[in-house]
Chain A
Amino acid sequence: MNDVDFLLWVKGPAFSAAMVIFIAGMVLRFFEILSLGKKVNYAVPKSDPVQGGLREILRRFGTDKATFQRSLLTVIGGYVFHIGLFVVVFLLAAHIALLKSIIGFGWPNLPTPVVDAFAVITMLTLIAVLAHRLQHPVKRFLSTPSDYVVWASTFVPVLTGYMAYHHLLLAPSLMLGLHILSVEFLLVIFPFTKLTHAFTLFLARWYNGVSMGIRGVKS
């Protein structure tokens, strides 16, 4: 198998398989969660539950003062690499072209060097949060092997994408193949690890927000 065969394989059959596992897995998780249902609450809601739910979804994009002061690095690092990942994944022209081919519509892209800068910042931050996780006794105690797999599966696609773009180490077509393969690995483990939080966070925030809305409590 040469570089091109490999690239064709990762772009073709491997990508289809990864997408199928990702979509089926995520839909499964959602239905699993939703079909558990919720007990009907016969009490008269003290305020609008929908408003409570929506407010909670938005509110938790922010951070509360106490947490911020207690875990400065975790919070700032978390913001930086999540925003970085968002920019890298959704605002690079090549990625938008791919998403457009799947979902049918696209959006404007950022200049490549800007995305490139975000990729570097993202990688540095990911390394920093990993170092902190390893060094901090409580974080380390709480970490499971799955957490490290999730970290690596997030870091490697950014690294290989960066290296493919800058023609580092390997032939760019081979590096591009490795980049796509690493993303496929990410897609495959996505529904079965903590990575699902990218979608389920909305469910969780909504659930909490609604229950607080019913009680008439401001979260």
Chain B
Amino acid sequence: MRLGEIPIIVKDEVPIEGAPTSALGAYLHERGVSRRDFLKFCGLLASTMAISPALIPKIAEALENAKRPSVIWLSFQECTGCTESITRSHSPSIEGLIFDAISLDYHHTLQAASGYGAEEARAEAMKENYGKYVLVVDGSIPLDNPGYSTIAGISNLDMLKEAAAGAAAIVAVGTCAAYGGLPKADPNPTGAVSVADIIKDKPIINVPGCPPIPVVITGVIAHFLTFGLPELDSLGRPKAFYGQSIHDRCYRRPFYERGLFAETFDDEGAKAGWCLYKLGCKGPVTYNACATTKWNDGTSFPIESGHGCIGCSEPDFWDFGGFYQALSIPPGASGKNAVYAAAVGIAAGVAIGAMNKKSKADAAGLHQTVTVEELNQESQS
């Protein structure tokens, strides 16, 4: 049996042995997903992607008839948080099942196979679906020394280049793969870069977040299956999910407008749910769907739990000047610079002042005194 033919993620249900079902709809039906639940999921997708509800049947139809795509998932310099996010979203979820439904041919954390078997599965999937498979990458790629991160003795850079060559599209899941993320944080000891820094000739969809929202990951895959490549913003993110800032959609926004801010995490303002801007919330410059989609089965999102947004779906969020410093405060603003600047100013000011005084004195020194006799002589001549 091929690796892709068994459901990778362990669930309560018994895996169906035998011939794989190639259409997604039939597969989900086999897994006990009712039509009602399926349409609900399509509705959720439509609303998250800001698509007209009139298109829900179309999404459903397209998804039902979509072929289960072969997916190769490569994990480089990462913490497995992205995989955790999607597999432990809230079980059993339909987005989890959509994730199951893809033919995940290689994922070294989730697959049962190991060693040569695992690498063979990757090679086989790449060969069989050359030019058609979806390549999912999480984690950044170290460029300083290929030995910093290897899988089966293959450097991340080589494996990415090899796998990208035959991919129909690449999904960079998580901020590390999309923008370098935490490994790239100053001083970037491994020379970490993003997928887009290396691969230039394939469509790349960035799905940043630390981790990304589960439904956004599956939503992007569903979008790819139904409508093809989604529309991307300037940072390569699907506009459907990353089109609005956290700040725009934040339920605490009215407090921002009224100028009511929590000053500490336990003052009256914090208890009253006031805006967390002064406590370092990066919502105004962060684009993600947290405020609408929320986390843990729609329970809440960080701001709702009383902590400001850390901006995890933005490039270099780790170096954004401190999680607890207001957005307007520059990183590394120190009084030291001001003191040095003042010292330089004083020195230069005194020097210029001294020069001015000297030129005044010199001018005074050049004054020629005229005696009364001389004046009289001049008037007589």
Chain A residues at the B interface, C-beta cutoff of 8 Å: 2-5, 7-8, 11-12, 15-16, 19-32, 34-37, 93-95, 97-98, 101-102, 109-114, 167, 171-173, 176
Known contacts A12-B330, A102-B333, A110-B259; is A32 also within 8 Å of B340 by CB?
no
Residues of A contacting B284 with CB < 8 Å? 172, 176
Q: Shortest beta-carbon distance, A196 to chain B, in Å?
A: 13
A5 touching B316 in the complex, CB below 8 Å, given contacts A20-B340, A27-B341:
yes
A35 and B357 in contact (CB under 8 A), knowing A12-B332, A93-B259? yes
Q: B235, A109: Cβ atoms under 8 Å? A: no
Nearest A residue to B311 via CB reads A4
- B345 pairs with A95, CB closer than 8 A: no
| Cross-interface CB contact of B342 among A24, A34, A110, A114, cutoff 8 Å | A24
Docked Cα-Cα span, A164 to B330, in Å, equals 17
Contacts of A20 in B (CB 8 A): 337-338, 340-341, 344
With A19-B337, A20-B341, A23-B341 known as contacts, the answer to whether A113 contacts B329 (CB < 8 A) is: no
Counting from the closest, the 7 A-B pairs by CB-CB distance are: A31-B349, A35-B353, A27-B345, A97-B326, A23-B341, A24-B345, A94-B328
**Chain A residue at smallest Cβ distance from B327:** A94
Of B278, B285, B316, B325, which is within 8 A of A172 by CB?
B285
Query: Which residues of chain A have C-beta atoms less than 8 A from B257's C-beta?
Result: 111-113
Known: A101-B330, A112-B257. 17 other contacts (CB 8 A): A11-B321, A11-B330, A12-B331, A16-B332, A20-B338, A21-B341, A24-B342, A27-B342, A27-B345, A28-B346, A28-B349, A32-B349, A95-B328, A98-B329, A111-B259, A113-B257, A173-B314
CB-defined A-B contacts under 8 Å, sample of 18: A4-B235, A4-B314, A5-B315, A16-B337, A20-B340, A27-B341, A27-B342, A27-B349, A34-B353, A35-B349, A36-B357, A93-B278, A94-B277, A97-B277, A97-B329, A101-B329, A172-B245, A173-B285
Q: Interface residue tally of chain B, by bracket?
A: 35 or more
A32 touches B259 (CB 8 A): no
Instruction: Choose one: B316, B328, B329, B345; the contact of A28 (CB below 8 Å).
Output: B345
Q: Does B350 contact A (CB under 8 A)?
A: yes
Which chain A residue lies CB-closest to B314? A4
Q: Do residues A35 and B350 form an inter-chain contact, with CB atoms below 8 A?
A: yes
B109 within 8 A of A: no
- Does B34 sit within 8 A of A, measured CB to CB? no
B80 part of interface (Cβ distance < 8 Å): no
Q: Is the CB of A26 within 8 A of B259?
A: no
Nearest residue, chain B, Cβ from A4:
B315
Interface flags, B223-240, vs A, CB<8A=1, else 0: 000000000001100000
Whole-angstrom distance between the Cβ of B281 and the nearest chain A Cβ: 11
A153 to B41, CA, bound (A): 52
B256 within 8 A of A: yes
Residues of B within 8 A of A114 (CB): 259
Residues of B within 8 A of A171 (CB): 234
Given contacts A28-B348, A29-B349, A110-B259, contact A8 B331 (CB under 8 A): yes
B200-250 with Cβ < 8 A to chain A: 234-235, 245, 248
Chain B residues packing against A (C-beta within 8 Å):
234-235, 245, 248, 256-259, 261, 277-278, 284-285, 314-316, 319-321, 325-333, 335, 337-338, 340-342, 344-346, 348-350, 352-354, 356-357
Q: If the complex has contacts A11-B331, A12-B330, are A111 and B258 also in contact, measured as CB distance less than 8 A? A: yes
Across the interface, which residues of A come within 8 angstroms of B341, CB to CB? 19-24, 27
Q: Which residues of B contact A32 (CB under 8 A)?
A: 349, 352-353, 356
Interfacial chain B residues near A173, Cβ < 8 Å: 285, 314
| Nearest Cβ on chain B to A113's Cβ, whole angstroms | 6
Interface centre among A27, A102, A112, A114 (most CB of B within 10 A): A27
Contact status B261-A93, CB under 8 Å:
yes
Q: List the A residue with the shortest CB-CB distance to B325.
A: A101
**What's the minimum C-beta distance from A96 to chain B, rounded to whole angstroms?**
9
Give the residues in chain A near B352, CB-CB below 8 Å.
28, 31-32, 35
Most A-side CB within 10 Å, residue of B321, B345, B354: B345
A21 to B332 CA separation, bound complex (whole angstroms): 17
A8 B316 Cβ-Cβ under 8 A: yes
Distance in angstroms between the alpha carbons of A142 and B117 in the assembled complex: 84
Cα distance A15–B328 in the bound complex, in angstroms: 11
The answer for the CA separation of A98 and B331 in the assembled complex, in Å, is 11
Which of B316, B332, B350 is within 8 Å of A4, CB to CB?
B316
